[in-house]
A and B are shown apart, each in its own frame.
Chain A
Amino acid sequence: MFDLTNKRALVTGATGGIGEGIARALHAQGAVVTLSGTREAKLEELAASLGDRVFIQAANLSDRDSVDALVPAAEEKMGGLDILVNNAGITRDNIFMRMKDDEWDSVLEVNLSSTFRLCRAAIKGMMKRRSGRIIGITSVVGVTGNPGQVNYSAAKAGMIGMSKSLAREVASRNITVNTIAPGFIATAMTDELNDKQRESILTSVPAGRLGSVEDIAAAAVYLASDEGGYVTGQTLHVNGGMAMI
């Protein structure tokens, strides 16, 4: 089950906790993986730890030329692209009344517009091959909302809507488009929380623990696999029960 041998995947934001976890999991299932991110040294480090079947392609998703170059570069390195994981994202949190235009714009650009452009670039090859998997990493807050994150939650909700429309357009070509909505996941970012903050977060999570990057990566493997082929236009919530939608 879930064998990804000979599948070619591109993971954006592979230097982040969740992106790295997804890249490792796809690779472990046999996929060829292109790692993308802004920090080239970190990409090289990750590539070295994975061994063979790995390429790196640095990209800055706030720069449209860099976005447009990414999929063609990955296709050239791997000879095609079967699995696109739009994982990269940024936050620029602020309360609504103080939210600046540039905080709004940059989050929408990196989290939503770049996803649109990467999907557009990838879909042509997938249509020709009559198969493909597009997976967007959204967030529970795209569905529930979160104070201080109007920009981030708007972008993440946007990914969900976009995925559903695209899923409808390309379903007949054996291409699935889904999103994964993580809840609170233990990453470098949550390591910075103090015990009190952590405790307060966990009161909202029935499972009583933070999620791991492996929890998210496993969902990505499933959606990327042949076995997940009848699942499209969905949002898979991986959140320990903190929101049941």
Chain B
Amino acid sequence: MSNVAEQVKKIVVEHLGVEADKVTESASFIDDLGADSLDTVELVMAFEEAFGVEIPDDAAETIQTVGDAVSFIESKAN
């Protein structure tokens, strides 16, 4: 697991209060991890802060799963 993925996982676990082993790459924030729409906005804000990236609204809407978040952040970092 990449560094980014580990950090994303940590943020998701903290924010949503879910078990770490449920936070798989394919896990959907809303369908699998019990997030509501406000949680997803807050997660995006937390990612922006943790990784120093800007996630515009149109991109944020495409981030549905843990894997989506990791690949978006990695694409920005590279």
Residues of A within 8 A of B (CB): 124, 127-128, 169-170, 172-173
B1 at interface (Cβ–Cβ under 8 A)?
no
Residues of B within 8 A of A (CB): 38, 41-42, 45
**Minimum Cβ distance to chain B for residue A174 (Å):** 12
Tell me if A172 and B38 are in contact (CB < 8 A): yes
Q: Report the separation of the CA atoms of residues A28 and B38 in the bound assembly, to the nearest whole angstrom.
A: 35
Residues of chain B within 8 A of A173, CB atoms compared: 38
Residues of chain B within 8 A of A169, CB atoms compared: 38
Q: Which residue of B lies closest to A125 (CB)?
A: B45
Tell me if A124 and B38 are in contact (CB < 8 A): no
**8 A-B residue contacts at CB 8 Å?**
A124-B45, A127-B38, A127-B41, A127-B42, A127-B45, A128-B42, A128-B45, A172-B38
Residues of chain B within 8 A of A172, CB atoms compared: 38
Q: Report the separation of the CA atoms of residues A172 and B45 in the bound assembly, to the nearest whole angstrom.
A: 17
Residues of chain A within 8 A of B45, CB atoms compared: 124, 127-128
Q: Report the separation of the CA atoms of residues A173 and B38 in the bound assembly, to the nearest whole angstrom.
A: 9
Q: Report the separation of the CA atoms of residues A127 and B41 in the bound assembly, to the nearest whole angstrom.
A: 10
Residues of chain B within 8 A of A170, CB atoms compared: 38
Q: Which residue of A lies closest to B39 (CB)?
A: A172
**Minimum Cβ distance to chain A for residue B69 (Å):** 18
Q: Which residue of A lies closest to B36 (CB)?
A: A172
Q: Report the separation of the CA atoms of residues A169 and B45 in the bound assembly, to the nearest whole angstrom.
A: 17
Q: Which 10 A-B pairs have the closest CB atoms?
A: A127-B42, A169-B38, A128-B45, A124-B45, A173-B38, A172-B38, A170-B38, A127-B45, A127-B41, A127-B38
Residues of chain B within 8 A of A127, CB atoms compared: 38, 41-42, 45
**Minimum Cβ distance to chain B for residue A81 (Å):** 16
Given contacts A170-B38, A173-B38, 9 further A-B pairs with CB under 8 A are A124-B45, A127-B38, A127-B41, A127-B42, A127-B45, A128-B42, A128-B45, A169-B38, A172-B38
Q: Which residue of A lies closest to B42 (CB)?
A: A127
Residues of chain B within 8 A of A128, CB atoms compared: 42, 45
Q: Report the separation of the CA atoms of residues A128 and B45 in the bound assembly, to the nearest whole angstrom.
A: 8
Q: Which residue of A lies closest to B37 (CB)?
A: A169
Residues of chain A within 8 A of B42, CB atoms compared: 127-128
Residues of chain A within 8 A of B38, CB atoms compared: 127, 169-170, 172-173
**Minimum Cβ distance to chain A for residue B39 (Å):** 10
Q: Report the separation of the CA atoms of residues A128 and B46 in the bound assembly, to the nearest whole angstrom.
A: 9
Q: Report the separation of the CA atoms of residues A197 and B41 in the bound assembly, to the nearest whole angstrom.
A: 52
Q: Which residue of B lies closest to A124 (CB)?
A: B45
Residues of chain A within 8 A of B41, CB atoms compared: 127
Q: Report the separation of the CA atoms of residues A128 and B38 in the bound assembly, to the nearest whole angstrom.
A: 11
**Minimum Cβ distance to chain B for residue A232 (Å):** 15
Q: Report the separation of the CA atoms of residues A29 and B45 in the bound assembly, to the nearest whole angstrom.
A: 32
Q: Report the separation of the CA atoms of residues A169 and B39 in the bound assembly, to the nearest whole angstrom.
A: 11
**Minimum Cβ distance to chain A for residue B56 (Å):** 14
